[in-house]
Each structure stands twice: as structure tokens, then as C-alpha cells.
Chain A
């Protein structure tokens, strides 16, 4: 049953992708097709990585309200990029070979995220409210620090760094997409390997430990995978805070299952579907009246609010 709902989701994604690429197609075909294919790939990569990252992160924190975006994972990535611009100067940063630079940024994010969040999340894990608040404050801190560092830059460097700070699907760099795809696939494979242990982690820290799960190590590994996924999506499109919550909640509602081997691909497909359908609606039907990230963020934010309020009354 779970496999069938995954197949349906995958088919929906494929259908949406086909419609997105083929709708109102006129010559010159080659140019438009490659433009659309690049954007489609970017949408799919961002949706998939954010969706998968959120499911993993929620299990590790035992909290259905948090997303890597809310606690500032993506802001941390932007901060690292900004610090690189500050350290190397605009010219130096732009001159770095693209792929190694991306890898270094991902490794930095993994290291910092694991060190920072592992300790913070462990300290607050017994208290749900404190955990959410700590997470939100960390997120604000990351964004604040990024803003501060950007004020130290000169205007050219600032323009370079700022491009990474706003979510956008209008200026996608095909090279970036080509880097991101293999990293996403690698991260998803790692997530798939972790999924049976993540199932056990549902029993809570003590429950999992009494079954012989090394919870500390699992947390580190899971945070590293989350960092990879977030780095991928942030590098392609910039930070998106609430998309993950939307994708994870919708996937959990749509899939009658709890196993991570189903939920992680499910949330990845849901995330991709949301972005592809959303972008299609904006580009083709609504004539670019607003921006997709703005709408997805407000919808996701709404889900966040509803979930917080529901939890308070329950």
C-alpha cells in the first residue's frame, strides 16, 4: 500500500514535470527546452532535498514542528558563503573553481552544523517548547550574523554575497544544478541507509538507546546528511524556511506509513511536486504576479502556525 502511494506521488511528479516543460512550447525549441529543463531540475532538487532533510531532522529532534530552515541551517550555509567572500575578497571568491568551492562549503556546513546543533539540540531535547524556541532563536542569530557580515563587505562583494541570501528560481545557474544533483543523490542514498535506525529513533532517546542504538552517533550522522541536503538546496535556490514543513506534513498525511524508507522519499517527492506545480501556476497561469518562494513560505508558515496552535489546545 505504501509502495503504491509512493508510485502515485512519483507519477504525479513526472506528470507535473512533463506539463511544466511542454506547456505552450514554441520555437526556438532547443533554447526554451534547456531553459525549462534547468529550472525544472532546480525545482526538483530543492523540493526533494528540503523535504527529505525535514523528515530526518524531525525524527532526530523528536519534534514535528522543527525544520532545518527554522533553526537556521540554510542561514548558516549563507553565513559560511558570506564569510568566504569576506575572507577571500570578491575577486578571490569568484575566482575559486566552482566544484571544489561547493564541496568545501558543504563540508564546512556539515562540520559546523554537527558541532553546533548536536550540542544545542541535546541540551534542550527533553523540553519541547525550549527546543523550538532555541531553534527559532538560533535561526534568527544566523540570519542576523549574515546580515552583519554583509555590512562589512564592499558593494561588489555585497552583491555577490546577497545573491545567495534570497530564495529565487528565476536565475538558476546550470553549473550549480549539475553539482547539486550528485550531492543530492549521495545524500538520499545515505538517508536511505539510515532509515531503519531512524525508525528505531522514533522510540525516543532512551528507548532507542536501550535497543542498542548509539544515539549520539546517529544524531551526528543524521545532522551531516541534513547539512548536505540543505547545502544542496541553498546553493541552488537560496534559503527556504517553511517549505520543508509543508512537504513533510503533507507527505505524512498522504502516506499511510511511518517507516523512513517510505517517508523520506515521500517527503522528497512531495517537496518537488509542490515547487513544480507552484512554479507552473506562477509562470504560465498567473503571469509571474508574485514569486513562488513567497507563496510557498506563507503557506508553510500557515501550516506551522496551525500546528503550533493545535498542539497548544491538545
Chain B
């Protein structure tokens, strides 16, 4: 479980996050939603330990993340930044192999190679193995980066807007894979910053809503992703209806 207590973050005197306390369950998919500039990415970076909060604490499975050593942290959680470098010369196989770095630090053994091969299979990248990253489509590229995070074999995976700039087909493909990777029994929980409310409604097991740097609401989708809740969160009329048994988000 990730437990956030009274988390605050200020950068250059500007308050980004204010007194956030929340918990994130240790399995399934947690969506972080909220309007632009609400501090979603900042919260994710605080969770990852890459950004040190100004006040408060983040504890992951009982350990204070800011106190953890870099290597231990990298074995505990994987982060996919929103913007990834182009890396034109790397192949998919090269990229996924990077995921094992925290475990071997430059000297991969057979176990590392086996896990990399498995990660490549899990994300159906076998056909793209030797393709260079600059020849991939946006969706394939995102899949390769997620395979790298998957190979890192961490109990926690944090993704910063992995669906941005993907068309619906790729976005739902990526989302389905994330659900697959965080199924109960895999020993992994995934936290995703996202804008697509339809996807959140459809796939999230837990939701953190941020507004203007504060925690607006958090809980299971049945409590957080309601018409009234979303309307207040985004200051715009939003309805959640049910169509063929599934929740559907309608924005006025």
C-alpha cells in the first residue's frame, strides 16, 4: 500500500501540492485524474521518490520513499515519464533490457535475459524485437516502454499520461495491457495519471481526484466517478450513464 500523509510540494515558492493525504491499494489500477495543472504529475513524481516533497511523507509498503536508497527504490517502483527521449538508434530489445538495470547494474545474467524475453512476449513485441524505436508507431513505442517497466519487475508501476497522443485503438490497447499487468495475483499495482475519463470509468479500481493542488476526493470508482463528483471536479456538467451495463461518461 502507498500511504501519503500531509504531502505538500512547493517549487520556487509556488505551492503545487497542498496537504494531501491518501492511500493507494496494493493491487489493481489506480487512476489519478483532475483538471490541467491540478498537480497530478507532481503527485506521481512525489510517489516515485524522484521529487522530494516539501512537507509530509510518502510511505510505500511501510518504507519511507525519500529515505530509500536509489537502487532499492528502483526495485520497488518503475516510472514511465510523460515525455520519453527519441533514442533513434535503440531497438525494442535494447530498450526493454534497460529495465533490468536496477537488478544487475551493468552485468546482466541469464535470469535478467529470461525476464526481458518474457516481458517482450507479455507485451506482444516479438515481431518488433529488432525494430529501431524511431520506426515504431506511437502505440508500439509506448508498448515498448511499458515492457521496459514490466521487466523492471517492481511491485509498483507509475505511468505519467501514457495515453496522451494515442488514438482510441492504441489507447484502449495500452489500457487493456495495464489492466492485465495489474490483475490480482500478479503482485503489482499500477498508478496512471490520465485525462481520458471514459477509460478511467471503464478500467480504474481506485481513483484519486486532484483539484488545484489539493485532494478533491479518493476512493473506488463507484464513489468518485459519479456525475456530481466529476462535474464538481472539472467545473463542467458531466453525466455518468449506464449503457449495456457499462458506465459511460457524457460531457455536456
A204 at the interface (CB under 8 A from B): yes
Nearest Cβ distance between residue A210 and chain B, in whole angstroms?
4
Interface string of A197-211 (1 = CB under 8 A from B): 101101110110111
Q: Mark B69-105, 1 if CB is under 8 A from A, else 0.
A: 0111111011101011101011000100011011001
Kindly state the separation between the CA atoms of A1 and B152 in the bound complex, as whole angstroms.
Answer: 28
Closest CB in chain A relative to B142 CB, distance in Å = 14
Contact between B106 and A196, CB atoms less than 8 A apart: yes
**B89 surroundings in chain A (CB, below 8 A):** 257-258
User: Is there an interface contact between A203 and B98, defined as CB atoms closer than 8 Å?
Assistant: yes
Complex CA gap A210/B149 in Å reads 10
Q: Do residues B85 and A209 form an inter-chain contact, with CB atoms below 8 A?
A: no
In the bound complex, residues from chain B placing their C-beta under 8 Å from that of A200 are 98, 101
Return the contact of A209 from the options B50, B84, B105 (Cβ within 8 A). Answer: B50
Interface residues of A toward B: which range?
10 to 19
Is A287 part of the binding interface, using a Cβ–Cβ cutoff of 8 Å?
no
Would A258 and B90 count as touching, CB distance under 8 A?
A: yes
A204 to B84, CA, bound (A): 8
Contact among B78, B83, B87, B106 with A210 in the assembled complex (CB-CB below 8 Å): B78
Contact B70 A212 (CB under 8 A): yes
Q: Which residues of B contact A (CB under 8 A)?
A: 48, 50, 70-75, 77-79, 81, 83-85, 87, 89-90, 94, 98-99, 101-102, 105-106, 152
Supply 13 further A-B pairs (C-beta < 8 A) apart from A203-B98, A211-B98, A211-B99. A196-B106, A200-B98, A200-B101, A202-B87, A203-B84, A204-B81, A204-B84, A209-B50, A210-B78, A211-B102, A212-B71, A212-B72, A258-B89
A contacts, CB < 8 Å to B: 62, 196-197, 199-200, 202-204, 206-207, 209-214, 257-258
Which 4 residue pairs spanning A and B have beta carbons closest together? A212-B74, A196-B106, A210-B79, A258-B89
